[in-house]
Amino acid sequence: MSSRLGTVVVTGAAGRIGSVVRQRLRAEVRQLVLVDRLPLRPQSSVERAVRLDVADLDAMVAACEGADAVVHLAGLPDEAPLADLLDRNVLGTYHVLEAARRQHVGRVVLASSNRVTGCYPVGQVVAPDAPVRPDGFYGVGKVAVEALGRLYADKFGLSVVCLRIGSFEDEPTEPRHLATWLSPRDCVGFVRAAIVAADVRFVTAYAVSANTRRFWDTAAGAQLGYLPVDDAESYAGRMPGSAVPHDPAALQGGVYASPAYSLRHVVAPPPALLKDGGTGSATPA
Protein backbone atom coordinates (compact mmCIF):
# COMPACT_ATOMS: atom_id res chain seq x y z
CA MET A 1 0.00 0.00 0.00
CA SER A 2 1.42 3.39 -0.94
CA SER A 3 2.14 6.21 1.48
CA ARG A 4 -1.05 7.87 0.26
CA LEU A 5 -4.07 6.08 1.62
CA GLY A 6 -5.78 5.49 -1.71
CA THR A 7 -9.53 4.95 -1.64
CA VAL A 8 -10.80 4.44 1.91
CA VAL A 9 -14.35 3.46 2.86
CA VAL A 10 -15.42 4.65 6.33
CA THR A 11 -18.59 3.13 7.76
CA GLY A 12 -20.32 5.01 10.53
CA ALA A 13 -18.89 8.20 9.06
CA ALA A 14 -21.52 10.37 10.78
CA GLY A 15 -20.56 9.11 14.25
CA ARG A 16 -18.24 10.75 16.77
CA ILE A 17 -15.14 8.83 15.75
CA GLY A 18 -16.12 8.68 12.09
CA SER A 19 -16.48 12.45 11.91
CA VAL A 20 -12.99 12.99 13.31
CA VAL A 21 -11.44 10.35 11.06
CA ARG A 22 -13.17 11.88 8.06
CA GLN A 23 -11.87 15.38 8.76
CA ARG A 24 -8.28 14.38 9.45
CA LEU A 25 -7.75 11.82 6.70
CA ARG A 26 -9.34 13.90 3.97
CA ALA A 27 -6.03 15.37 2.80
CA GLU A 28 -4.33 11.96 2.59
CA VAL A 29 -6.70 9.95 0.43
CA ARG A 30 -7.45 9.64 -3.25
CA GLN A 31 -11.11 9.18 -2.36
CA LEU A 32 -13.02 8.95 0.91
CA VAL A 33 -16.25 6.95 0.68
CA LEU A 34 -18.49 7.97 3.58
CA VAL A 35 -20.99 5.27 4.54
CA ASP A 36 -23.74 5.85 7.06
CA ARG A 37 -27.47 5.33 7.59
CA LEU A 38 -27.76 9.08 8.08
CA PRO A 39 -27.47 11.49 5.14
CA LEU A 40 -24.05 13.07 4.70
CA ARG A 41 -22.89 15.83 2.38
CA PRO A 42 -19.44 15.73 0.78
CA GLN A 43 -17.26 18.55 2.06
CA SER A 44 -14.48 18.24 -0.50
CA SER A 45 -13.87 16.90 -3.98
CA VAL A 46 -12.34 13.68 -2.59
CA GLU A 47 -15.44 12.73 -0.61
CA ARG A 48 -18.32 10.57 -1.81
CA ALA A 49 -21.28 9.96 0.48
CA VAL A 50 -23.20 6.69 0.32
CA ARG A 51 -26.33 6.35 2.43
CA LEU A 52 -26.80 2.72 3.37
CA ASP A 53 -27.20 0.34 6.28
CA VAL A 54 -24.46 -2.25 6.72
CA ALA A 55 -27.32 -4.73 7.17
CA ASP A 56 -27.63 -4.57 3.37
CA LEU A 57 -24.86 -6.84 2.09
CA ASP A 58 -25.37 -6.03 -1.59
CA ALA A 59 -25.19 -2.29 -0.93
CA MET A 60 -22.05 -2.77 1.14
CA VAL A 61 -20.42 -4.78 -1.65
CA ALA A 62 -21.16 -1.98 -4.10
CA ALA A 63 -19.76 0.66 -1.73
CA CYS A 64 -16.46 -1.24 -1.45
CA GLU A 65 -15.81 -1.39 -5.19
CA GLY A 66 -12.31 -0.10 -5.91
CA ALA A 67 -11.46 0.43 -2.23
CA ASP A 68 -7.94 0.02 -0.89
CA ALA A 69 -9.10 -0.08 2.73
CA VAL A 70 -12.26 -0.15 4.82
CA VAL A 71 -12.46 1.39 8.29
CA HIS A 72 -15.51 -0.12 9.95
CA LEU A 73 -16.88 2.14 12.70
CA ALA A 74 -20.64 1.59 12.29
CA GLY A 75 -22.71 -0.10 14.97
CA LEU A 76 -24.24 0.32 18.40
CA PRO A 77 -21.68 2.10 20.61
CA ASP A 78 -22.70 0.85 24.04
CA GLU A 79 -24.54 -1.78 26.05
CA ALA A 80 -27.86 -2.91 24.53
CA PRO A 81 -30.01 -6.04 24.33
CA LEU A 82 -27.86 -8.87 23.05
CA ALA A 83 -30.12 -9.52 20.07
CA ASP A 84 -29.65 -5.92 18.89
CA LEU A 85 -25.88 -6.12 19.33
CA LEU A 86 -25.71 -9.37 17.37
CA ASP A 87 -27.79 -7.84 14.58
CA ARG A 88 -26.13 -4.44 14.33
CA ASN A 89 -22.55 -5.09 15.40
CA VAL A 90 -21.82 -8.72 14.63
CA LEU A 91 -23.91 -9.27 11.50
CA GLY A 92 -22.97 -5.80 10.25
CA THR A 93 -19.28 -6.65 10.63
CA TYR A 94 -19.81 -9.90 8.75
CA HIS A 95 -21.30 -7.92 5.86
CA VAL A 96 -18.34 -5.52 5.83
CA LEU A 97 -15.80 -8.36 5.83
CA GLU A 98 -17.68 -10.29 3.17
CA ALA A 99 -17.94 -7.16 1.00
CA ALA A 100 -14.21 -6.58 1.41
CA ARG A 101 -13.49 -10.19 0.46
CA ARG A 102 -15.61 -9.99 -2.68
CA GLN A 103 -14.03 -6.69 -3.74
CA HIS A 104 -10.44 -7.74 -2.91
CA VAL A 105 -9.93 -4.87 -0.47
CA GLY A 106 -6.35 -4.65 0.75
CA ARG A 107 -7.00 -3.86 4.42
CA VAL A 108 -9.95 -3.89 6.82
CA VAL A 109 -9.76 -1.99 10.11
CA LEU A 110 -12.38 -3.09 12.64
CA ALA A 111 -13.42 -0.99 15.63
CA SER A 112 -13.27 -3.31 18.61
CA SER A 113 -13.34 -2.14 22.21
CA ASN A 114 -11.36 -2.23 25.43
CA ARG A 115 -14.49 -3.72 26.94
CA VAL A 116 -13.61 -7.17 25.59
CA THR A 117 -11.28 -7.36 28.62
CA GLY A 118 -13.15 -5.15 31.09
CA CYS A 119 -13.42 -7.85 33.77
CA TYR A 120 -9.67 -7.95 34.38
CA PRO A 121 -8.52 -6.17 37.56
CA VAL A 122 -6.99 -2.72 37.35
CA GLY A 123 -3.78 -4.06 38.88
CA GLN A 124 -3.08 -6.33 35.90
CA VAL A 125 -1.57 -5.13 32.62
CA VAL A 126 -3.51 -6.84 29.84
CA ALA A 127 -2.05 -7.67 26.44
CA PRO A 128 -4.15 -8.32 23.33
CA ASP A 129 -3.35 -12.05 23.42
CA ALA A 130 -4.76 -12.51 26.95
CA PRO A 131 -8.01 -14.50 27.18
CA VAL A 132 -11.01 -12.25 26.65
CA ARG A 133 -13.07 -11.26 29.70
CA PRO A 134 -15.87 -9.03 28.39
CA ASP A 135 -17.62 -6.75 30.86
CA GLY A 136 -21.07 -6.90 29.24
CA PHE A 137 -23.12 -7.83 26.21
CA TYR A 138 -21.45 -5.06 24.21
CA GLY A 139 -18.07 -6.59 24.99
CA VAL A 140 -19.34 -10.03 23.98
CA GLY A 141 -20.39 -8.60 20.62
CA LYS A 142 -16.95 -7.11 20.10
CA VAL A 143 -15.35 -10.47 20.92
CA ALA A 144 -17.44 -11.88 18.06
CA VAL A 145 -16.33 -8.99 15.82
CA GLU A 146 -12.69 -9.86 16.48
CA ALA A 147 -13.38 -13.55 15.87
CA LEU A 148 -14.94 -12.75 12.51
CA GLY A 149 -11.90 -10.70 11.60
CA ARG A 150 -9.63 -13.57 12.54
CA LEU A 151 -11.74 -16.00 10.51
CA TYR A 152 -11.59 -13.84 7.40
CA ALA A 153 -7.83 -13.43 7.81
CA ASP A 154 -7.13 -17.13 8.37
CA LYS A 155 -9.62 -18.64 5.96
CA PHE A 156 -9.89 -16.06 3.18
CA GLY A 157 -6.55 -14.23 3.36
CA LEU A 158 -7.99 -10.82 4.22
CA SER A 159 -5.65 -8.38 5.99
CA VAL A 160 -7.41 -7.30 9.20
CA VAL A 161 -6.52 -4.98 12.09
CA CYS A 162 -8.76 -4.87 15.17
CA LEU A 163 -8.38 -1.72 17.26
CA ARG A 164 -9.57 -2.04 20.84
CA ILE A 165 -10.63 1.57 21.23
CA GLY A 166 -10.26 3.25 24.61
CA SER A 167 -12.40 6.04 26.06
CA PHE A 168 -12.66 8.36 23.06
CA GLU A 169 -13.17 11.90 24.37
CA ASP A 170 -11.91 15.37 23.51
CA GLU A 171 -10.55 15.48 27.07
CA PRO A 172 -10.66 12.96 29.95
CA THR A 173 -13.56 13.74 32.28
CA GLU A 174 -13.46 11.07 35.01
CA PRO A 175 -10.79 9.20 37.00
CA ARG A 176 -11.10 6.01 34.90
CA HIS A 177 -10.12 8.02 31.83
CA LEU A 178 -6.70 8.63 33.38
CA ALA A 179 -6.00 5.04 32.31
CA THR A 180 -8.34 4.57 29.35
CA TRP A 181 -8.47 7.90 27.48
CA LEU A 182 -8.01 7.94 23.70
CA SER A 183 -7.55 11.46 22.35
CA PRO A 184 -8.85 12.40 18.88
CA ARG A 185 -5.26 12.93 17.68
CA ASP A 186 -4.14 9.49 18.86
CA CYS A 187 -7.31 7.86 17.55
CA VAL A 188 -6.61 9.10 14.04
CA GLY A 189 -2.97 8.11 14.43
CA PHE A 190 -3.94 4.54 15.23
CA VAL A 191 -6.45 4.38 12.38
CA ARG A 192 -3.92 5.73 9.89
CA ALA A 193 -1.28 3.26 11.06
CA ALA A 194 -3.78 0.41 10.85
CA ILE A 195 -4.50 1.31 7.23
CA VAL A 196 -0.90 1.53 6.04
CA ALA A 197 1.00 -0.98 8.23
CA ALA A 198 2.91 -3.43 6.06
CA ASP A 199 2.91 -7.23 6.23
CA VAL A 200 -0.23 -7.59 8.34
CA ARG A 201 -2.45 -10.65 8.18
CA PHE A 202 -4.20 -10.17 11.52
CA VAL A 203 -3.37 -7.85 14.42
CA THR A 204 -5.28 -6.83 17.53
CA ALA A 205 -4.06 -3.70 19.32
CA TYR A 206 -5.27 -1.45 22.11
CA ALA A 207 -5.87 2.06 20.79
CA VAL A 208 -5.20 4.17 23.87
CA SER A 209 -3.29 7.36 24.48
CA ALA A 210 0.10 7.42 26.23
CA ASN A 211 -1.54 7.61 29.64
CA THR A 212 0.79 7.24 32.62
CA ARG A 213 -1.81 5.09 34.42
CA ARG A 214 -2.88 2.88 31.49
CA PHE A 215 -3.38 -0.83 32.20
CA TRP A 216 -3.21 -2.18 28.62
CA ASP A 217 -0.10 -3.37 26.83
CA THR A 218 0.49 -1.13 23.79
CA ALA A 219 3.28 -3.11 22.11
CA ALA A 220 0.99 -4.25 19.30
CA GLY A 221 0.14 -0.64 18.50
CA ALA A 222 3.84 0.15 18.27
CA GLN A 223 4.26 -2.76 15.85
CA LEU A 224 1.68 -1.09 13.62
CA GLY A 225 3.96 1.92 13.53
CA TYR A 226 2.18 4.37 15.83
CA LEU A 227 3.26 5.65 19.23
CA PRO A 228 0.56 7.72 21.00
CA VAL A 229 1.51 11.21 22.17
CA ASP A 230 -1.21 12.46 24.52
CA ASP A 231 -1.37 11.67 28.24
CA ALA A 232 -4.49 12.02 30.38
CA GLU A 233 -2.25 12.80 33.34
CA SER A 234 -1.95 16.40 32.14
CA TYR A 235 -5.65 16.79 33.04
CA ALA A 236 -5.47 15.08 36.44
CA GLY A 237 -5.06 18.27 38.43
CA ARG A 238 -8.48 19.54 37.41
CA MET A 239 -10.29 16.20 37.87
CA PRO A 240 -12.03 15.45 41.20
CA GLY A 241 -10.93 12.11 42.64
CA SER A 242 -7.80 11.83 40.54
CA ALA A 243 -5.53 11.75 43.60
CA VAL A 244 -7.26 8.66 45.02
CA PRO A 245 -5.22 5.56 44.08
CA HIS A 246 -7.01 2.94 42.00
CA ASP A 247 -8.01 -0.19 43.86
CA PRO A 248 -5.90 -2.85 42.10
CA ALA A 249 -8.71 -5.38 42.58
CA ALA A 250 -11.34 -3.15 40.94
CA LEU A 251 -12.41 -4.13 37.44
CA GLN A 252 -10.97 -2.25 34.48
CA GLY A 253 -14.43 -1.78 33.00
CA GLY A 254 -15.54 0.31 35.96
CA VAL A 255 -19.28 0.93 35.92
CA TYR A 256 -19.56 -0.96 32.62
CA ALA A 257 -18.58 -4.14 34.49
CA SER A 258 -21.32 -3.77 37.11
CA PRO A 259 -24.22 -6.25 36.93
CA ALA A 260 -26.77 -3.43 36.83
CA TYR A 261 -25.25 -1.97 33.66
CA SER A 262 -26.13 -5.11 31.71
CA LEU A 263 -29.21 -6.32 33.56
CA ARG A 264 -31.24 -3.32 32.45
CA HIS A 265 -30.95 -4.71 28.92
CA VAL A 266 -31.98 -8.26 29.73
CA VAL A 267 -35.31 -9.11 28.13
CA ALA A 268 -37.71 -10.39 30.81
CA PRO A 269 -39.24 -13.82 30.17
CA PRO A 270 -42.86 -13.71 28.99
CA PRO A 271 -45.49 -14.25 31.67
CA ALA A 272 -47.14 -17.65 31.89
CA LEU A 273 -50.01 -17.65 29.44
CA LEU A 274 -52.14 -20.06 31.49
CA LYS A 275 -51.61 -20.26 35.22
CA ASP A 276 -54.55 -22.46 36.20
CA GLY A 277 -55.39 -25.67 34.49
CA GLY A 278 -53.44 -24.84 31.34
CA THR A 279 -50.92 -26.85 29.42
CA GLY A 280 -48.02 -24.55 30.26
CA SER A 281 -46.09 -24.33 33.50
CA ALA A 282 -44.72 -21.25 35.18
CA THR A 283 -41.03 -21.23 36.14
CA PRO A 284 -39.88 -19.23 39.16
CA ALA A 285 -37.79 -16.19 38.24
The catalytic residue positions are 138
Element (H, E) at 185: helix 184-196
Measured CA to CA, the distance from residue 275 to residue 281 in angstroms comes to 7
Instruction: Give, as one character, the DSSP assignment of residue 251.
Output: B
Under DSSP, is residue 93 helix (H, G, I), strand (E, B) or coil? helix
Q: Are 159 and 200 in contact (CB under 8 A)?
A: yes
Closest CA to 177 of 239, 270, 109, 99: 239
Measured CA to CA, the distance from residue 200 to residue 129 in angstroms comes to 16
- Tell me the pairing of strands 160-165 and 202-207: parallel
Residues pairing with 253 in the sheet: none
Strands (E) in the chain, as ranges, are 7-11, 31-36, 47-51, 69-72, 107-113, 160-165, 167-168, 181-182, 202-207
